[in-house]
């Protein structure tokens, strides 16, 4: 489900930014930290473009071609050949939620700039932005907690016993 939402949000975020570009002023940003409208669009579209790293296809590709690069609790167990494909499918779905969060954050930043540059448009109360940021932060915290629940410690029977160090002889 999350991967479908991400696949929808990713191009819609880019389209939203490109379509609303004419409503931004020539210089975008705070005084002293401004950039041209075109440079702003390029920077934001680059940020949206990195969203592909959160797509299911990239996660699956990386898990197959460079599994040592995946940061995953109990990686050796979960990426063992007999569990790898199922693990990558679960991980890809879960990582899509992170991409969805990124798209919502970038769309929110763009919307905030649009509203600030058009004071005659209806403006949401300042608390709305704080609530949105808090909701994203809580969602991210829940996402982190859930990844540990998705990939728990392996069953005790499948954990390799650790070797005990040899004790020195008492007769030496």
* pLDDT the model gives residue 156: 79
Q: Are 81 and 102 in contact (CB under 8 A)?
A: no
Q: Tens-of-pLDDT digits for all 172 residues of the chain?
A: 778 899 899 999 999 999 999 999 999 888 888 999 999 999 999 999 998 888 888 888 999 999 888 888 888 899 999 999 999 999 988 899 999 999 999 999 999 999 998 889 999 998 999 999 999 999 999 999 998 898 998 887 755 556 677 777 666 5
Cα–Cα dist 48/45, whole Å: 5
Phi-psi sector, 159: left (phi>0), alpha (psi -120 to 50), beta: beta
* pLDDT the model gives residue 15: 96
Cα–Cα dist 112/29, whole Å: 11
Cα–Cα dist 110/119, whole Å: 15
Expressed in angstroms, the distance from the first to the final Cα of the chain is 66
Q: Residue 78: exposed, middle, or buried by beta-carbon count in 10 A (0-12, 13-18, 19+)?
A: buried
* pLDDT the model gives residue 159: 55
Tell whether the torsion through CA atoms of 51, 56, 58 and 63 is positive or negative.
Answer: positive
Residue in 47, 10, 40 with CA at minimum distance from that of residue 23: 40
Task: For residue 35, report the phi and psi dihedrals to the nearest 5 degrees.
Answer: -145, 160
């Amino acid at each position: 489900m999350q991967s479908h939402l991400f696949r929808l949000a990713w191009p819609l975020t880019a389209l939203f930014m490109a379509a609303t570009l004419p409503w931004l002023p020539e210089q975008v940003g705070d005084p002293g930290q401004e950039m041209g409208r075109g440079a702003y669009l390029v920077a934001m579209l680059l940020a949206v473009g990195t969203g592909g790293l959160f797509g299911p296809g990239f996660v699956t590709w990386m898990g197959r071609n460079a599994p040592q690069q995946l940061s995953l609790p109990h990686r050796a167990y979960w990426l063992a050949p007999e569990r790898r494909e199922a693990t990558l499918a679960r991980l890809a779905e879960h990582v899509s939620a992170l991409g969805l969060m990124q798209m919502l954050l970038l769309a929110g930043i763009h919307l905030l700039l649009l509203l600030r540059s058009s004071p005659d448009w209806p403006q949401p109360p300042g608390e709305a932005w704080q609530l949105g940021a808090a909701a994203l932060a809580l969602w991210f915290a829940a996402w982190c907690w859930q990844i540990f629940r998705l990939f728990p410690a392996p069953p005790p029977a499948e954990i390799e016993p650790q070797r005990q160090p040899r004790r020195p002889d008492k007769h030496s």
